[in-house]
Amino acid sequence: MHNQIHTSLLQWYKINGRHDLPWRITDDPYKIYLSEIMLQQTQVKTVLERFYFPFLEKFPTLLDVAQSDLDDVLKMWEGLGYYTRAKNLHTAAKKCNGILPNNAFELLELPGIGRSTAHAISAFAYKEPLPILDANVKRILHRYFAIEKRDEKLLWKAAYELFDSGNPFNYNQAMMDIGSMVCLARKPLCDVCPFEKGCEGKSVPLKYPQPKIKKIKPIRNRIIVVYTRNGQFALSQRKERFLHGLWGFMQYEELENNEGKFLGHITQHYSHFTLQADVYISEEDFVNEDGEWFSREEINFLSLSRADYKVLQFID
């Protein structure tokens, strides 16, 4: 049904596609999996220049991840953000004993692997004929089929309809490239798009998909206290889902006792809230069973959140 489109798509990919990306020239499922997870919330350039290779150097195989402490995995993830991804990667590595299943159905059983990621790993590593549905692909489908509504079910249906099952690898890679290079969110380049002929939304592409209703980010007001004694500092490991496993200075919603000496104020924007915190330093005894004492040098080996790095600047 879409034979002509598939031919133009593959031709476009042959000439314009990013064939040099390291995760495209390997069929090692672990390396593909790692790239998929890192790329979920981060741009290709950042992943490529700062995170992908150092991570693989430290953990050459998924078994190395499985046999490591979560702290070591988080340390290599530091700066990449969305730390739940690293935690899930570690849990998944342990769950499958460092050997990924060879099909999307079983990949889906692992934590942090959703349907599109499972399809991507399986299509790229095992050539399983399955379409993917990441943010870029969604945008193309919305426009190609003129679908205004943001409806996951409808988009999966469209993804299967347009899919070239004879070329799962090249088709999916081409879709990702067109999404990031041609069918741009604000300025789609329809004139050079291989979908131009059949695209139902090209006369008003910005209508598809319908704009998201903007939510106002809540502000979290906190007090951060740097407790210190004998040249050491107290930190605890975060337990909540967000930032789980990272180390940080003591953080409170409010304090009953004297906080100590005021050091300054920090602001940190996260995806779903903004942290506003006054930072104090105190030599008072504190009681907190989660707290552990570290020298300044030892702190360099811990994984900290961006907010805690800002706090660190006050004491350096």
User: CB-based contacts of 68: which residues, under 8 Å, 6+ apart?
Assistant: 59, 90
> Nearer Cβ to ligand SF4, position 135 or 189?
189
User: Which residues, 4 to 63, sit near ligand SF4 by CB under 6 A?
Assistant: none
Residue with tokens 């998929």: 36
Q: Catalytic pick from 36, 106, 254, 283?
A: 36
Is residue 202 at the binding interface for ligand SF4, with CB under 6 A as the rule?
yes
**Closest CB to ligand SF4 among residues 12, 124:** 12
Residue span 127-146 as binding mask against ligand SF4, x where in contact by CB under 6 A, dash where not: -------------x--xx--
Task: At 262, give phi and psi (nearest 5°).
Answer: -70, 130
Applying CB under 6 A, the site for ligand SF4 has a residue count of 15
The Cα 248–Cα 257 span in angstroms is 20
State the binding string over 176-195 for ligand SF4 (x if CB under 6 A, else -): ------xx----xxx--x-x
Active site residue 36: yes
Structure tokens at 205: 């592409």
Q: Which residue, 69 or 200, has its beta carbon nearer to ligand SF4?
A: 200
Name the one range near ligand SF4 by CB under 6 A: 2-10, 100-108, 198-206, 220-228.
198-206
Burial code (b: 16+ CB inside 10 Å, e: under 16) for 160-187 equals eebbbeebbbbbbbbbbbbbbbbbeeee
Q: Encoding tokens for residue 80?
A: 């990449």
Q: Which residue lies nearer to ligand SF4 by CB, 25 or 204?
A: 204
User: Binding residue for ligand SF4 (CB under 6 A) from 28, 106, 196, 292?
Assistant: 196
Distance CA 143, CA 132 (A): 16
Give residues 83-112 in contact with ligand SF4 (rule: CB under 6 A): none
Buried b (16+ CB within 10 A) or exposed e, 238-268: beeeebebbbbbbbeeeeeeebbeebeebeb
Candidates 90-98, 113-121, 200-208, 269-277; binding stretch for ligand SF4 (CB under 6 A)? 200-208
CB of 155 to ligand SF4, least distance (A): 14
Q: In Å, how far from its chain's centre is CA 86?
A: 9
DSSP code per residue over 20-66: T-GGGS---HHHHHHHHHHHTTS-HHHIIIIIHHHHHHH-SSHHHHH
Task: Work out whether 199 is an interface residue with ligand SF4 (CB under 6 A).
Answer: yes
Q: Which is nearer to ligand SF4, 106 or 196 (CB)?
A: 196
- Contact characters 205-234, ligand SF4, x per CB under 6 A: x-----------------------------
Q: Interface residues with ligand SF4 (CB under 6 A)?
A: 140, 143-144, 182-183, 188-190, 193, 195-196, 199, 201-202, 205
Query: What is the set of active-site residues?
Result: 36
